[in-house]
């Protein structure tokens, strides 16, 4: 909402209150002023001139030599190129020395041999937005009204000595979508006197009801409809003061009739519609729901298809307007219109909202209906418009208003208790002050004991509960006067849940081993949502897509974080940042067994991705590229941190998008919790990135599993004994499998089995490899003897020989 300071001054005494202070105070009390614009934009030296003579320039076809009177002295000569300049006009003249917007200084000039002492201005040259300039002046100078006084400041006639306040209104304050509402608010904030317009009509003897009848099908849709008839209208431009006010509010002047409906819209917040009575097609207004498939050609020359949930104004047979949204082209006011059928109605907000949404038509009118207009100001608005039509368009207002539905409704009563207000706000506002505040707000009320029974004015559709009134009291009282206290009541411990603590632990660990935390988008492309998730099609057949994506890039919810992290690698490697190790913890989304109507399952995942060098210390010639075991080492450490390392298993698998020989699923207690592997070299090429490794884990499963508490185990009191063995194994026997086998066979005495060497290739038989294990034996009860160890160790050896077809090496 754009509010003219000068216009507002007509309703509220703003004496001594400058625009800045006005903006500041009403912002603090709840109506945010987002900006103040000075319309004069530094203009000076522009006066009203009278063109006494206007002749063609002797040396230029398109220029005119004008003699313009700009004050007491002799007329000055001004050269003007505008096609619409002419003798007898009153025009805005930028005199020599004047300054126009953009610090454009006017100097004496010579144009094709003729002296020019200034410039006759167009509105655009005076800083008016070209879109707002009335059509007749769009290509030329502005012609002012005849009674403008020569030599006076032209800006005041054009209302350019004004300041415009831009209000950023929250949806609850629709009452400030008009000047009267802003005036009420301003008066309350500054405790100033309010003077509102009181329309007075000179109505003719003839009655409007002889011209028209009104019938409303359903008062639920349309609680009130009023129609007035104004005859003998002369359609033409509206006066300067009205045009300039419309312009300052961002509305382009069209003609007096349309301008009046727009003016009353701005003044009262009441959307009005003017029909050309003679084109209306009947003497009957019927407001009803549209029939399915019914059509109407709206003012913008579009054929609109209607539905039964739309409300239409009809002439008894066919629609002539979509209620509250837009009028029809057939009954539009034209230059030839002489009789106006003026509609002032209250339509149900939701029905207007639905129609404006369906038809894609958002207008100053529909927004106001949607947000709620003043139900009790509809009737007065009709009179105000009729008054203006008589005043500036020569109209004759027929007697009465033809209406359906009650003209006024009783205001809602809401009770606010002083004690409750103070309890909610934490204040000690005295009863006397509450009286004052309610009076400032212009609310009628009764007071008994501690209860204020407030009659909420119909313009304040936002006030329905005691809390709403408490807010009114609080904001007028001043929030800066509310003290700062701390909540009383039982103390709570607060804190993190076990799962939140584990998540922080995971984060700290990963960061401490050198990974950066990334944060990527949940919405992705179908292609990316369909890769690397490792799900069989029958498990997850349906994408979870947003119904109207803003782009293909952000169309469906991710099923895995990995593609997003691949993007991170791609982004960085494209910028020569080759060594990347990042992780992300976030949700992935899967349908509930393919049923899109059901709430999807969100899984908290941890994904990490590695590319380039893991370690690089050039001057000591240390350089370690990332490989599978680097990544596995990170995971192993993580599982230790989480206390589940003994329960983890890696199983070699083949998976779409991963290297067929370098990928494993990760299991916790035999249950799959994730995947680790190398990105398939073909994918790597497609992404155009370097060799890349990744893992992804389902954190929900990992966090939910019970973990043994930390219990200290006694430090060894006796020496342990180590035995190393080198086993020749078939290539397809996994080292880990043998390691577990040894561990199992060694029983209680075998404390630890570690792998310390791997040998493949030369000197080995085809299809064989050598793996060396170190076995540590320990007995917590006594010092082991060689014989004790030998007994177990030989058992282990014979077990592995038999079980894994292993032979001892060397």
Partner 1 sequence: MQERLMTLQEEAVEKIEHASSLKELQDIRVEYLGKKGPITEVLRGMGKLPAEERPKMGQLANEVREVITTKVDSKQEKLEREELDRQLSNETIDVTLPGRPIRQGNAHPLTAVIEEIEDLFIGMGFSIAEGPEVETDYYNFEALNLPKNHPARDMQDSFFITEDLLLRTQTSPVQARTMEKHEGKGPVKIISPGKVYRRDTDDATHSHQFMQIEGLLVDKNIRMSDLKGTLTLFAQKLFGEEREIRLRPSFFPFTEPSVEVDVSCFKCNGSGCSICKRTGWIEILGAGMVHPNVLEMAGFNSKEYKGFAFGMGPERIAMLKFGIDDIRHFYANDLRFLEQFKRA
Rounded to the nearest 10 degrees, what angle do helices 431-440 and 418-425 cross at? 90
Closest among 422, 424, 451 to 435, alpha carbons compared: 451
Nearer to partner 1, 248 or 591 (CB): 591
Q: Does 34 bind partner 1 (CB under 8 A)?
A: no
Closest among 234, 272, 238 to 135, alpha carbons compared: 238
Tokens of residue 184, six digits: 């009420």
Contact 341, 212 (CB under 8 A): yes
Stretch that binds partner 1, among 419-427, 433-441, 682-690, 783-791 (CB under 8 A): 419-427
Q: Does 475 bind partner 1 (CB under 8 A)?
A: yes
Q: Does 371 bind partner 1 (CB under 8 A)?
A: yes
Rounded to the nearest 10 degrees, what angle do helices 179-190 and 431-440 cross at? 150
Nearer to partner 1, 513 or 755 (CB): 513
Q: Does 486 bind partner 1 (CB under 8 A)?
A: yes
The contact pattern for partner 1, residues 625-664, with x = CB under 8 A and - = no contact, is ----------------------------------------
Tokens of residue 711, six digits: 């219990």
Q: Does 518 bind partner 1 (CB under 8 A)?
A: yes
What residues between 442 and 461 interact with partner 1 by CB under 8 A? none
Nearer to partner 1, 309 or 803 (CB): 309
Nearer to partner 1, 284 or 466 (CB): 466
Q: Give burial (CB, 10 Å; 0-12/13-18/19+) of 791.
A: exposed
Q: Does 431 bind partner 1 (CB under 8 A)?
A: no
Helix (H) or strand (E) holding 524: strand 523-524
Least Å from the CB of residue 372 to partner 1: 8
Q: Which of 255, 427, 524, 663 binds partner 1 (CB under 8 A)?
A: 427
Stretch that binds partner 1, among 26-34, 253-261, 404-412, 667-675 (CB under 8 A): 26-34
Q: For residues 241 and 265, what is the distance between their CA atoms, to the nearest angstrom?
A: 16
Q: For residues 390 and 386, what is the distance between their CA atoms, to the nearest angstrom?
A: 6
Q: Does 554 bind partner 1 (CB under 8 A)?
A: yes
What residues between 298 and 357 interact with partner 1 by CB under 8 A? 349-350, 353-354
Contact 250, 132 (CB under 8 A): yes
Q: Does 20 bind partner 1 (CB under 8 A)?
A: no
b/e sequence 6-31, b meaning 16+ C-beta within 10 Å: bbbbebbebeebebeebbeebbebbb
Nearer to partner 1, 125 or 472 (CB): 472
DSSP assignments along 426-453, one per residue: T----HHHHHHHHHHTT-EEEEETTEEE
CA distances from 459 to 23, 222, 269, 342 (A): 22, 17, 10, 22
Q: Which of 102, 495, 670, 810 binds partner 1 (CB under 8 A)?
A: 495
Q: Which of 201, 519, 755, 758 binds partner 1 (CB under 8 A)?
A: 519
Q: Which of 115, 292, 465, 682 binds partner 1 (CB under 8 A)?
A: 465
Nearer to partner 1, 488 or 787 (CB): 488
Q: For residues 182 and 188, what is the distance between their CA atoms, to the nearest angstrom?
A: 10
Q: Does 173 bind partner 1 (CB under 8 A)?
A: yes
What residues between 577 and 636 interact with partner 1 by CB under 8 A? 577, 580-583, 586-587, 589, 596-597, 599-600, 602, 614-617, 619-620, 622
Q: Which of 444, 517, 645, 805 binds partner 1 (CB under 8 A)?
A: 517
Q: Which of 18, 56, 59, 170 binds partner 1 (CB under 8 A)?
A: 170
DSSP assignments along 335-403, one per residue: TT---EEEEEEE--HHHHHHHHHHHT---HHHHHHHH---GGGHHHHHHHHHHHHHHHH--EEPBS-EE
**Which positions ≥6 away from 597 have C-beta within 8 Å?**
none
Closest among 678, 676, 804, 664 to 731, alpha carbons compared: 804
Q: For residues 51 and 93, what is the distance between their CA atoms, to the nearest angstrom?
A: 10
Stretch that binds partner 1, among 39-47, 260-268, 397-405, 423-431 (CB under 8 A): 423-431
Stretch that binds partner 1, among 4-12, 39-47, 260-268, 422-430 (CB under 8 A): 422-430
Closest among 556, 557, 552, 562 to 584, alpha carbons compared: 562
Nearer to partner 1, 124 or 364 (CB): 364
Q: Does 480 bind partner 1 (CB under 8 A)?
A: yes
Q: Sort residue 433 into left (φ over 0), alpha (ψ -120 to 50) or beta.
A: alpha
Q: For residues 331 and 377, what is the distance between their CA atoms, to the nearest angstrom?
A: 26
Contact 330, 320 (CB under 8 A): yes
Q: Does 363 bind partner 1 (CB under 8 A)?
A: no
Least Å from the CB of residue 572 to partner 1: 5
Q: Does 213 bind partner 1 (CB under 8 A)?
A: no
Q: Does 105 bind partner 1 (CB under 8 A)?
A: no
Tokens of residue 302, six digits: 């579009």
# residues near partner 1 by CB under 8 A: 95
Q: Which of 489, 670, 767, 810 binds partner 1 (CB under 8 A)?
A: 489
Contact 138, 148 (CB under 8 A): no
Q: Does 507 bind partner 1 (CB under 8 A)?
A: yes
Nearer to partner 1, 113 or 489 (CB): 489
Least Å from the CB of residue 459 to partner 1: 16
Least Å from the CB of residue 488 to partner 1: 6
Stretch that binds partner 1, among 217-225, 463-471, 738-746, 755-763 (CB under 8 A): 463-471
Q: Which of 2, 96, 194, 424 binds partner 1 (CB under 8 A)?
A: 424
Nearer to partner 1, 475 or 768 (CB): 475
**Which positions ≥6 away from 49 have C-beta within 8 Å?**
68, 69, 70, 78, 90, 91, 92, 93, 120, 150
Helix (H) or strand (E) holding 227: strand 224-231
Nearer to partner 1, 317 or 500 (CB): 500
Contact 190, 25 (CB under 8 A): yes
Stretch that binds partner 1, among 45-53, 116-124, 468-476, 765-773 (CB under 8 A): 468-476
Least Å from the CB of residue 783 to partner 1: 40
Nearer to partner 1, 102 or 483 (CB): 483
Least Å from the CB of residue 181 to partner 1: 15
Q: Give SS3 for 30.
A: coil
Q: Does 374 bind partner 1 (CB under 8 A)?
A: no
Q: Does 505 bind partner 1 (CB under 8 A)?
A: no
Q: Does 525 bind partner 1 (CB under 8 A)?
A: no
Q: For residues 539 and 404, what is the distance between their CA atoms, to the nearest angstrom?
A: 61
What residues between 390 and 409 interact with partner 1 by CB under 8 A? none
């Amino acid at each position: 909402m754009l509010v003219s300071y000068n216009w507002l001054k007509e309703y509220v005494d703003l004496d001594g209150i400058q625009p800045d202070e006005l903006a500041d105070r009403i912002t603090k009390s709840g109506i945010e002023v987002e900006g103040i614009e000075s319309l004069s934009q530094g203009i000076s030296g522009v006066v009203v001139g009278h063109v006494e003579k206007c002749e063609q320039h002797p040396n230029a076809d398109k220029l005119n030599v004008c003699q313009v009177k700009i004050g007491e002295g002799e007329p000055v000569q001004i050269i003007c190129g505008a096609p619409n300049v002419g003798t007898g006009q009153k025009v805005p003249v930028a005199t020599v020395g004047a300054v126009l917007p953009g610090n454009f200084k006017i100097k004496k000039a010579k144009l094709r041999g003729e002296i020019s002492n200034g410039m006759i201005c167009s509105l655009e040259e005076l800083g008016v937005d070209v879109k707002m300039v009335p059509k007749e002046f769009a290509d030329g100078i502005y012609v002012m009204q005849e009674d403008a006084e020569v030599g006076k400041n032209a800006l005041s006639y054009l209302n350019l000595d004004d300041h415009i306040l831009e209000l950023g209104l929250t949806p609850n304050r629709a009452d400030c979508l008009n000047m009267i509402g802003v005036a009420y608010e301003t008066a309350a904030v500054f405790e100033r006197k309010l003077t509102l317009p009181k329309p007075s009509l000179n109505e003719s003897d003839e009655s409007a009801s002889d011209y028209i009848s009104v019938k409303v099908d359903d008062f639920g849709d349309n609680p009130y409809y009023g129609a007035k008839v104004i005859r003998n209208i002369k359609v033409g431009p509206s006066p300067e003061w009205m045009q300039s006010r419309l312009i300052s509010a961002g509305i382009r002047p069209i003609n007096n009739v349309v301008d009046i409906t727009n003016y009353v819209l701005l003044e009262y917040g009441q959307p009005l519609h003017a029909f050309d009575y003679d084109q209306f097609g009947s003497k009957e207004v019927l407001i009803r729901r549209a029939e399915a498939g019914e059509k109407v050609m709206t003012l913008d020359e579009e054929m609109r298809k209607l539905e039964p949930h739309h409300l239409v104004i009809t002439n008894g047979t066919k629609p002539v307007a979509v209620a509250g949204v837009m009028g029809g082209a057939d009954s539009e006011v034209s230059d030839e219109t002489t009789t106006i059928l003026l509609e002032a109605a209250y339509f149900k907000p939701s029905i207007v909202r639905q129609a404006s949404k369906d038809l894609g038509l958002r207008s100053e009118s529909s927004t106001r209906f949607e947000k709620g207009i003043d139900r009790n100001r509809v009737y007065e608005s009709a009179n105000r418009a009729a008054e203006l039509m008589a005043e500036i368009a020569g109209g004759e207002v027929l007697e009465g208003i033809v209406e359906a539905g009650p003209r006024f409704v009783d205001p809602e009563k809401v009770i606010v208790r002083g004690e409750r207000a103070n309890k909610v706000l934490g204040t000690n506002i005295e009863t006397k002050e509450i009286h004052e505040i309610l009076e400032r707000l212009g609310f009628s009320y009764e007071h008994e004991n501690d209860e204020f029974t407030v009659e909420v004015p119909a313009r304040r559709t936002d006030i329905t509960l005691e809390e709403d009134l408490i807010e009114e009291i609080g904001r007028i009282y001043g929030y800066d006067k509310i003290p700062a206290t701390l909540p009383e009541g039982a103390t709570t411990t607060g804190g993190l849940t076990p799962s939140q603590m584990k998540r922080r632990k995971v984060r700290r660990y990963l960061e401490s081993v050198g990974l950066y935390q990334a944060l990527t988008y949940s919405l992705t492309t179908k292609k990316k949502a369909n890769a690397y998730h490792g799900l069989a099609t029958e498990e997850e057949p349906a994408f979870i897509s947003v119904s109207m994506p803003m782009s293909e890039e952000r169309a469906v919810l991710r099923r895995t974080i990995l593609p997003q992290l691949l993007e991170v690698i791609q982004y960085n490697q494209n910028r020569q940042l080759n060594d990347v190790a990042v992780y992300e913890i976030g949700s992935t989304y899967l349908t509930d067994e393919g049923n899109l109507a059901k709430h999807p399952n969100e899984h908290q995942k941890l994904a990490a991705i590695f590319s380039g060098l893991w370690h690089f210390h050039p001057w000591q010639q240390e350089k370690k590229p990332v490989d599978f075991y680097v990544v596995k080492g990170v995971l192993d450490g993580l599982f230790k941190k989480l206390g589940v390392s003994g329960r983890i298993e890696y199983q070699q698998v083949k998976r779409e998008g991963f290297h067929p020989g370098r990928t494993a699923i990760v299991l916790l207690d035999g249950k799959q919790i994730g995947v680790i592997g190398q990105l398939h070299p073909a994918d790597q090429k497609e992404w155009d990135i370097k060799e890349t490794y990744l893992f992804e884990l389902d954190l929900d499963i990992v966090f939910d599993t019970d973990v043994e508490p930390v219990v200290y185990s006694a430090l060894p009191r006796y020496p342990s004994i180590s035995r190393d063995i080198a086993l020749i194994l078939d290539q397809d026997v996994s080292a880990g499998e043998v390691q577990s086998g040894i561990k199992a066979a060694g029983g209680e005495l075998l404390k630890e089995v570690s792998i310390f060497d791997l040998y493949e290739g030369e000197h080995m038989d085809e299809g064989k490899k050598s793996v060396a294990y170190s076995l540590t034996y320990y007995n917590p009860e006594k010092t082991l003897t060689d014989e004790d160890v030998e007994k177990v160790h030989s058992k282990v050896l014979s077990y592995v020989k038999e079980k894994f077809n292993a032979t001892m090496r060397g």
